[in-house]
Chains A and B, each alone.
Chain A
Amino acid sequence: MVSSRQDSPTAGDHERCLVIQPNASLTPRQGRLFFVSMCAVSFGIAMLFALQGFWVVLPFAGLEMAALGAGLYWSMRGNTYREVIRVEGDRVLFESGRAGPDERREYQRAWAQVVLEPRVVRNHAPRLLLRSHGRDCEFGRCLTAKEKREVAQRLKRWLNEPVSRAAPAT
């Protein structure tokens, strides 16, 4: 999934920014809602038995809900991963990470290339690469083939814009 700040009314004319994130079919709110509803059902059943004196069901329900919560948290943790690509003046900045940037790279815009490399392996989507000085940096792995093509086109367009247009106002 890709979002761009290029079209944002608050973004300056010089600012070119792409945010890439994995597709998450469960939003945090939906995840919480699902977990709470499961807890309500599971603890509701366990409480009914506990009120009859059969309290042993309760700790098992608790253990299971803890396992479900941990599983949901672990899986949804991956949804917070972001890759941010900024084209600012003569620089291209690449940042990736979860809560904040865990990794940061900077390229000279004049040397940076965006390459969409087809995969030899059948049925695999092409690789999206930032290439500079003979070194590649793969990004956008969480994108579909169609999204990769769109990102490649957009980044190529930004990189090819005259530097003066993209230069920050002083």
Chain B
Amino acid sequence: MSEAHAHDHHDDHHHGPEPGIMRWIKTTNHKDLGTLYMWFSFTMFMIGGMMALVIRAELFQPGLQFVDPGFFNSMTTMHALVMIFGGVMPGFVGLANWMVPMMIGASDLALPRINNWGFWILPFAFTLLLSTLFVDGGAPAAGWTMYPPLVLQSGDSLPLLIFAVHMMGVSSITGAINIVVTILNMRAPGMTLLKMPLFVWTWLITAYLLIAVMPVLAGAVTMLLTDRYFGTSFFSAAGGGDPVMFQHIFWFFGHPEVYIMILPAFGIISMIIPVFARKTLFGYDSMVYATASIAFLSFIVWAHHMFTVGMPVAAELFFMFATMLIAVPTGVKVFNWVATMWKGSMSFETPMLFALAFVFLFTIGGFSGLMLAIVPADFQYHDSYFVVAHFHYVLVPGAVFSIMAGVYFWLPKWTGHMYDEKLGKLHFWLSTIFVNVTFFPQHFSGLAGMPRRIPDYATQFAEFNMISSIGAFGFGFSQLILLFVVIKCIRGGQPATGRVWEGARGLEWSIPSPAPYHSFETPPDVPDSEVTSAQEQHA
């Protein structure tokens, strides 16, 4: 409540951002923090990408060319950690920061100061992680999965790695708690659960997964620390412990983590396709239930990552069938996206192109996942380049393409300008071509027997590796176009309307572009016309 003299109270609550650098350090505004997350994610994407290029340069031809095997192993480990925890996850958190409050008609996230803290932990966590490149013994080199006993043989990098993972975990948890509480408690009047846009739904379920599994990761890495420095034997067979249990614990976290990196992507794609097909999303309810089913199944399939480690046949059968079951809800999603496009008035702007590439290429990654779920086949494929091809198809044209699609889709709403469509399309085509040039040949080298995580290989794999390396450099340099497009769009361009896209519906499109610094200070009415594809059946 406020009191003021009459006629002297205009805009008393309309304050903009603080000027200068302090705006970004002290900000609690969800849009500012979303922007910070997105830039952080892009920076990490570039750093992780450079590590990938070191790997691909070394693998360009057989023999050791540029780096020693120890450093090569560090690069594979650090590339994964940086891309997963620094690139993909902050990318999705950034999109959630920007869009979730606007989509549900909330003024901000529920815990804005925690949001600030959650972001600012990340630069310190990754500085710590990257600083391991300069410590005795080099950066962690035992793989991002940190399996003991190998990881316990790391040099001085181990405690730094573990502390960095803890910090990343704290950041993820604060983000997840913030998003869950916001979605559950701060929806505008009339925005019932089954009227929420699918991006909000998928993030709600993702945040639930994060909250459920993060303590498992924290516990696992802490036990590594105590095994190394405090004389415990959780994972040391010599002391009565069990190193295989680490794999079980890690993958109990790790498999839901895989879905943490893909469920928000499903949400983004489900937002984009209806807009550019000019139709409502086919099967909204089934999309929500499919997402929830995938999340549930993610808890009971972890051992498919470790079939070869040895387990009873009954367990192998259970994990094989449970893994295959995931294809059902995922198939429902792919079917619904295709059905949404069926007989739609489609147009092919950059976000739609990325969304289409996602549907097509992610499905390839899904199919190779099904192959890997078959126990006897997995015994052949395990630790081969086929696995590398599989998860890169899921994560690059899957998760990363969806983030790019989301950036192009919402960039006009963020900046108030339309991006350069020609450059956007150029970025799309180069990315799509090179991502396939990079990863498709890896299926063949893997099936032919090339193991993963090696700096040298038999000459029979030379051609496939050369093609893969050319693709990787092409893909890496293509991303500079994205940087250019974004900067150009921030600096100017054709003014964007509030609605931006012809078929766009939802509360986020009902406000002007660029979105005001404070949107929905008072709760909006949720007219049926703004209920996204949603859910008209529920409106």
Partner of A119, one of B11, B222, B524: B11
Residues of A contacting B11 with CB < 8 Å? 119-121
Count contacts on B: residues with CB < 8 A to the other chain. Answer: 53
* Complex contacts, A121 vs chain B, CB 8 Å: 11, 14, 516
Q: How far is the CA of A146 from the CA of B114 in the complex (A)?
A: 32
A67 to B226: give the CA distance in the assembly, Å: 25
Tell whether B185 is near chain A: CB-to-CB under 8 Å.
yes
Bound CA–CA A72/B256 (angstroms): 24
B212 within 8 A of A: yes
A146:B215 contact, CB within 8 angstroms? no
Q: What is the number of contacts between chain A and chain B, taking CB atoms within 8 Å?
A: 154
**A interface residues, how many (CB within 8 angstroms):** 58
Which of A10-18, A137-145, A151-159, A160-168 lies at the binding interface? A137-145
Residues of B within 8 A of A144 (CB): 188-189, 522-525
Residues of chain A with a CB closer than 8 A to B516's CB: 121-123
Q: In the complex the two chains form, what is the Cα distance from A161 to B226 in whole Å?
A: 76
A45 to B181, CA, bound (A): 22
Which B residues are in CB contact (< 8 Å) with A58? 219
A75 touches B223 (CB 8 A): no
B5 CB-CB contact with A under 8 Å? yes
Q: How far is the CA of A96 from the CA of B511 in the complex (A)?
A: 30
> In the complex, A45 Cα to B218 Cα: how many Å?
13
* Interface: B80 (CB within 8 A): no
Q: How far is the CA of A23 from the CA of B188 in the complex (A)?
A: 7
Interface residues of B in 232-291 (CB under 8 A from A): 234, 245, 249, 252
The CA-CA distance from A127 to B187 in the complex, in Å, is: 21
Measured CB to CB, the nearest residue on chain A to B188 is: A23
A19 adjacent to chain B (CB < 8 Å): no
Q: Within the complex, what minimum Cβ distance (angstroms) separates A55 from chain B? A: 8
Cβ–Cβ < 8 Å partners of B5 in chain A: 134-136
- Quick one: which of B482-539 are within 8 Å of A by CB? 511-512, 516, 519, 521-525
Nearest CB in chain B to that of A125: its residue: B522
User: Measured between C-beta atoms, what is the minimum distance from B247 to chain A in Å?
Assistant: 12
**A54 beta carbon closer than 8 Å to chain B:** yes
Is B191 positioned at the interface, with any CB of A under 8 Å from its CB?
A: yes
**Residues of chain B contacted by A138 (CB below 8 angstroms):** 1-4, 9
Say if the beta carbon of B88 comes within 8 Å of chain A: no
Q: A143–B523 contact, CB under 8 A? A: yes
- B interface, CB within 8 angstroms of A: 1-6, 9-11, 14, 110-111, 114, 173-174, 177-178, 180-182, 184-189, 191, 208, 211-216, 218-220, 222-223, 226, 234, 245, 249, 252, 511-512, 516, 519, 521-525
> What are 8 A-B interface contacts by the 8 Å CB criterion?
A25-B184, A25-B187, A25-B191, A49-B249, A68-B180, A75-B110, A121-B14, A136-B5
The 6 closest A-B pairs by CB, nearest first: A57-B219, A60-B215, A25-B187, A125-B522, A75-B110, A26-B185
